[in-house]
Amino acid sequence: MDTSTPLVWITKDYESIEAQFKEHTFYIHVLGEKQRLEFIGEENTLKRIVEQPRFVLHDKDKPDRIVCVDLCYLPKLNGIYWVGVYIEKDRRPRDVATVIATRKIPKTGGIIYDSTKAST
């Protein structure tokens, strides 16, 4: 891991593979370019979704990405939304690429993981 890259967090994902969320991705891409201001203060929510997702999906548009999703209450939107954390799966550590909140059930390239069917 490149320890010179400032991180929002680093954790183990649902497969116990290290995953990181870079400050640049969060502040420049998510909050800046995409204007997804509903995620201000939700850094730990995003981390929890990576650690304990409801579903993990194949990204329908980018085969090198997976999407960890869960239903979450987002106070800045005053509602419950599907939150998707898009992860570059072939990097080590895995890298958060972007995050999205939507009311619609995300379209998928297939389900990789379903927490209700996961063995304990």
The pLDDT tens digits of the residues spanning 9-62 come to 999 999 999 999 999 999 999 998 889 999 999 999 999 999 999 999 999 889
Task: Specify if 120 maps to a domain.
Answer: no
Structure tokens at 76: 């800045």
Task: Specify if 88 maps to a domain.
Answer: yes
Asked if residue 120 has pLDDT above 70, the reply is no
CB 47 within 8 A of CB 11: yes
Task: Specify if 44 maps to a domain.
Answer: yes
pTM of the model: 0.91
Residue 38 to residues 13, 15, 32, 71, 83, Cα–Cα distance (Å) = 23, 27, 12, 14, 11
The mean of the pLDDT values for the chain is: 92
Residue whose token pair is 């550590």: 93
Q: How many residues does the chain have?
A: 120
Q: How many domains is the chain built from?
A: 1
Which among 88, 68, 83 has a CA at the least distance from the CA of 22? 88
pLDDT band at 2 (very low <50, low <70, confident <90, very high): low
Task: Specify if 99 maps to a domain.
Answer: yes
More confident residue, 15 or 119: 15
Asked if residue 3 has pLDDT above 70, the reply is no
Domain residue limits at 33 = 7-114
What span, in angstroms and rounded, lies between the C-alpha atoms of 35 and 106?
20
Task: Specify if 2 maps to a domain.
Answer: no
What span, in angstroms and rounded, lies between the C-alpha atoms of 116 and 57?
14
User: Facing residues of 68 across strands?
Assistant: 56, 85
Structure tokens at 73: 């209450």
pLDDT of 67-118, one tens digit each?
A: 999 999 999 999 999 999 999 999 999 999 999 999 987 777 889 999 999 7
3-state secondary structure of 91: coil
